[in-house]
Amino acid sequence: MFIVTILIFGFSLSVQAGDNILIAAASNLRFAMHEVCQDFQEENPSIQTKVSYGSSGNFFAQISQGAPFDIFFSADTTYPELLEKEGFTVKESQKVYAVGKIVLWFPKVSNADPDKGFQAVTFPTVKKLAIANPRHAPYGRAAEESLRYYGLWEDVKEKLIYGENISQTAQFVHTGAADAGIVALSLAISPKMLHEGRYWDIPDESHSDIEQVYVVLKKGKEKKSIRKFLDFIHGEKGGNILSQYGFVIPGTGENGS
Amino acid sequence: MNFAAPLLLSLKLSSVTTLLLLVLGVPFAYWLVFTKFRWKFLVESVVALPLVLPPTVLGFYLLIVIGANSFVGQWYESIFNKPLAFSFQGLVLGSFLYSLPFAVQPIQTAFSSVDKKLLEASWSLGRSNIYTFFRVILPLSRHGIITGCVLSFAHTLGEFGVILMIGGNIPGITRVASVAIYDEVQSLNYGTANMYAAILLSFSFIILALVYFTNRRFTRTM
């Protein structure tokens, strides 16, 4: 039985090589990138995009251990720079594609009042506050900076639960496992979360800019499809999708919201 | 994303791993049973390690050993022109080590429970070790070998931590069913996650039921 299955799979192996792009994307892009890829593939049916989502720090580690990605959409500027230094990238291919925002998100069931702003996290009704792990998730770093900026870090330290990346953090609040969470705006306004809770915009001045940079990796150097994909991201359609998800597109100033 | 892809990948990984474990596990178990090697207990301990170790320990060390900066990783890449970590082959290696005790232990037990008198009878009739192995030991250990295969298959199917560490979560390459569940939950697709989970649950249950069923039949016929 096993031998038969192996034979069948042996044949299916050879089909894998084609014109496809393997993308590593910071998990704040989870829903936005999905839409970008869908639209891109509609225009370019011969190109297949495959996306893996995770924290930027985790991808940095994987790529430096030889993970076969063609392009890396980070949630910050640091990890692409480090990869460049270590020689894993195509020189001068780094570019800011979006600037992210963070929000304080409450599930519908929570009786916290988002209009109270950040003070709401100190209320006893918020027993658990979810943030992404600041050690390897840029959105977690921004969350920590904001909490410190408002002098709330010490107050909430005991309440914090850490998501491995920003979408796991969103999942923690979405399921109600945490009473509040600091998540990416791009996740908060995704169809999955929009009507499941309420959010408060965390002011940009409370944390350093979440400049998101992509970088083409050595594995993707020869692929023409990458150029097409990047043109799409920077084009009108790609830009529209990203700004719909609350990203500020560099060079265009404010986003629509 | 293609719903079936992670399931097929899981089946493929489990099949390849089980086949490897069968081919290498049988002679290895034979050696463990018949060797006079005094440090055998150390070898047995190493084989059993995955039973007690957190998968992250195995995953971490594997990543160090097969990663792009390691000797093994670079050697592999120079031959096959692609990295071993984050590839299907890397997963096979990880799964092989992770499921090793599940294959070797039942086979070893089966080999050592074959009646010594039968072996001596075969030898005293002038039959070679190899003949004795294939005509006496192997047929009598049938059920231990099947148990070893089935358990390795099921255990590999249920592997998560090692795969996430050495394989990442790459669609079509290393995103097996257990990792797909994790990914779907983070995409807030609880429905899809539930479907994968239910399939794995039923499959594992059926496999275990089969093992216990054949064991029961075996003990009856003893």
pLDDT single digits (tens) B147-161:
999 999 999 999 999
Domains of chain A, CATH where assigned: 2-99+211-244 (3.40.190.10), 101-206 (3.40.190.10)
pLDDT single digits (tens) A245-257:
999 998 765 544 4
Dihedral sign, Cα of residue B37, residue B43, residue B48, residue B52 = positive
Q: Report the C-alpha gap between B110 and B144 in whole angstroms.
A: 5
Q: Report the C-alpha gap between A235 and A222 in whole angstroms.
A: 22
Q: Is ipTM strictly over 0.85?
A: no
Q: Which residues of chain B have pLDDT under 70?
A: 1, 217-222
Q: Report the C-alpha gap between A20 and A69 in whole angstroms.
A: 11
* CB contact residues (below 8 A), chain B span 98-127, against chain A: none
* Beta carbons of A168 and A54 less than 8 angstroms apart: no
pLDDT single digits (tens) A75-111:
999 999 999 999 999 999 999 999 999 999 999 887 7
Chain B residues within 8 A of A10 when measuring between CB atoms: none
Instruction: Determine the residue of chain A that is closest to B19 in CA distance.
Output: A2
Give the ranges where chain B is alpha helix by DSSP (H): 4-34, 40-52, 55-66, 71-80, 88-112, 116-124, 129-132, 138-140, 142-157, 161-167, 177-186, 190-221
* Beta carbons of A73 and A221 less than 8 angstroms apart: no
Q: What is the pLDDT of residue A256?
A: 42
Contact B19 A174 (CB under 8 A): no
The identity of residue A215, as a single letter, is V
Chain B residues within 8 A of A30 when measuring between CB atoms: 186-187
What's the whole-number mean pLDDT along residues A228-239? 95
For residue B156, give both structure tokens: 């590999």
Record: fold of B4-34+53-221: MetI-like fold (1.10.3720)
The closest CB to that of B19, out of A6, A65, A193, belongs to A6
pLDDT single digits (tens) B108-149:
999 999 999 999 999 999 999 999 999 999 999 998 999 999
pTM confidence score: 0.86
Residue A75, φ and ψ in degrees, nearest 5: -95, 5
Q: Report the C-alpha gap between B144 and B107 in whole angstroms.
A: 5
Q: What is the pLDDT of residue A18?
A: 53
Contact A6 B12 (CB under 8 A): yes
Domain boundaries, chain B: 4-34+53-221
